[in-house]
Structure 1
Amino acid sequence: MPHDKGTGASGVDPERLWLGPTPAAAGPRRGRRPTFSRAAITTAAVALADAEGLDAVTMRRVAAEVGAGVMSLYTYAPDKETLLALMADDVCGELPLTDPLTGDWRADLKTLAHRQRALMLRHPWLAAVLVTRHTPGPRALDFLERALAALRPSGLDGAARLEVFAQLTSFVAGHVRHELAQSASADSPGRRAAEARYLTAMAADGHHPELAEALAAPGRPVTPEATFGRFLNRLVDGLDTA
């Protein structure tokens, strides 16, 4: 029986989803031809998630958005896990792929990471979906192909390049989730000031000399872009290609 699932580890069969005939191609054998499509369902689900978050994306809500009965949607997306896979791959089509690579693999990798971050910030639900889904769809594979090509000058073999891309994507997704959480909590009046006072007090108690030294160090730009750039530099510049 089809049903809505949460956002746990994906049980989607990628071969069936991406290599099988689309429901529009297979088509219902009887009855009136539907006035919606898998693409329309995916677009509606993405719009819901962008506006209201993943919890708003239920088969019932999506059906209402496209003007369909709930049961008719299951021909196109048999459960919420499949719908989330379709959504994630759909927005991955926004990633630019046509500008030439520079041949400087570290610089190119950082550019790709910045594009991933921008995509995840445009679609704040995406980071949570990506960390629980391990098989990329066709559009995501296009971006993976781009990343593997960018990494070719590194001298890493194919398996290592796949690992680097997975590590990079996990870093970006984790950072964006933290960034979004920080942005939401910053709306609480005085929270950051209270946190600073607490850390200063703990650093002054004589039991945390390393923390005291760290807090006394010169400050750095704390904008989200600057912070992400510093973390990304440490990750990419520290990659071992031996």
Structure 2
Amino acid sequence: MPDATPEASTAGPTRPSVWTRPDRGGRGPQPEHSREAIAAAAVALADAGGLGAATMRAVAAALGTAAASLYRYLSSRDDLLDLMVDAVLAELPPEQPPGPDWLEDLVDLGRAQLDLHRRHPWLLEAGLRGTAVGPHGTDHIERCLRLMAPAGAGSAARMEAVALITGVVSLFARPAPVDTRALAPADLFAVASADRHPHLVAALTRPTPPGPRPDLFEHTLRSVLRGLLVEPG
């Protein structure tokens, strides 16, 4: 039975995954909506107005039903957020045969994750609360681990790498603060001095190498994955 407060959260280590329960409760009339339809309505609301717009009441209104009726399918809003995250993971490109370079395959998949976060900015906030891993999320993790297999790293290192891919994606998906985006390095580090901060000043004044600059996201992701998964030698 849901908490008396419609938007109450039951998130925590003992919260059962929505995917371990039947699609709807055993009582009441036949279901009018599927979990997929509920998730789609919630995603549309969050895309338009942020994660806070996807309340149980708003989702119910979008589906033309009462908020209480959603509790035939979900036990709390946490279940709703879990469904939303898993639903958008289905937008990742379909899996292709692995290419000749496992690292580039992972970078390409990381780029697809970044694009997904930019289409659905609320994923950043949803990721902070911790979501249960659903069917699409489980498939995605398996895909990452499969792509890493040629690197020869152990299971623990590969699971860490999966988490780090998400971390790098989240870092680059965050919008730049408006008040610092236009500042020149000299203004951003106005208190730096050559005697107290020689390395910082040298880095700020070093000429930019000629030629095209590497994509910072891809460069960062390659460096992180190579450092974690490739044995030196």
**Which TM-score tier does this pair reach, normalised by the shorter chain?**
0.7 to 0.9
- Residue of structure 2 in register with 1:55 after alignment: 52
- Contact 1:117/1:176 (8 A) holds in 2: yes
- Is 1:236 the counterpart of 2:205 in the alignment? no
- Contact 1:63/1:73 (8 A) holds in 2: yes
Matches within 5 A, 1:174-193: 174-177=171-174, 180=175, 182=176, 185-186=177-178, 191-193=180-182
- Counting aligned pairs with the same residue, the percent is 38
Cα gap change, 1:192/1:111 in structure 2, threshold over 3 Å: closer, same or farther? Answer: closer
Post-superposition shift, 1:206?
3.8
Q: Please tell me the residue identity of whatever aligns with 1:217.
A: R
TM-score (norm 1): 0.81
> More deviation in 4-13 or 97-106?
4-13
Cα gap change, 1:192/1:237 in structure 2, threshold over 3 Å: closer, same or farther? Answer: same
Post-superposition shift, 1:29?
4.2
Cα gap change, 1:174/1:141 in structure 2, threshold over 3 Å: closer, same or farther? Answer: same
Post-superposition shift, 1:232?
1.6
Work out the CA distance in 2 between the residues paired with 1:7 and 1:200. Answer: 44
More helix by share: 1
TM-score (norm 2): 0.84
**Can you give the 5+ residue segments of structure 2 that lack an aligned partner in the other structure?**
none
Matches within 5 A, 1:62-101: 62-101=59-98
- Is 1:36 the counterpart of 2:33 in the alignment? yes
**Can you give the 5+ residue segments of structure 1 that lack an aligned partner in the other structure?**
none
Post-superposition shift, 1:219?
3.7
Q: Please tell me the residue identity of whatever aligns with 1:18.
A: W
Post-superposition shift, 1:208?
2.0
- Contact 2:151/2:229 (8 A) holds in 1: no
Q: Deviations over 1:208-231 (max 9, x none)?
A: 22221111123479xxx9221222
- Residue of structure 1 in register with 2:16 after alignment: 13
Work out the CA distance in 1 between the residues paired with 2:158 and 2:139. Answer: 15
- Residue of structure 2 in register with 1:218 after alignment: 207
- Structure 1 vs Structure 2 CA RMSD: 2.8
Task: Determine which of 94, 109, 113 is the counterpart of 2:110.
Answer: 113
Work out the CA distance in 2 between the residues paired with 1:7 and 1:237. Answer: 38
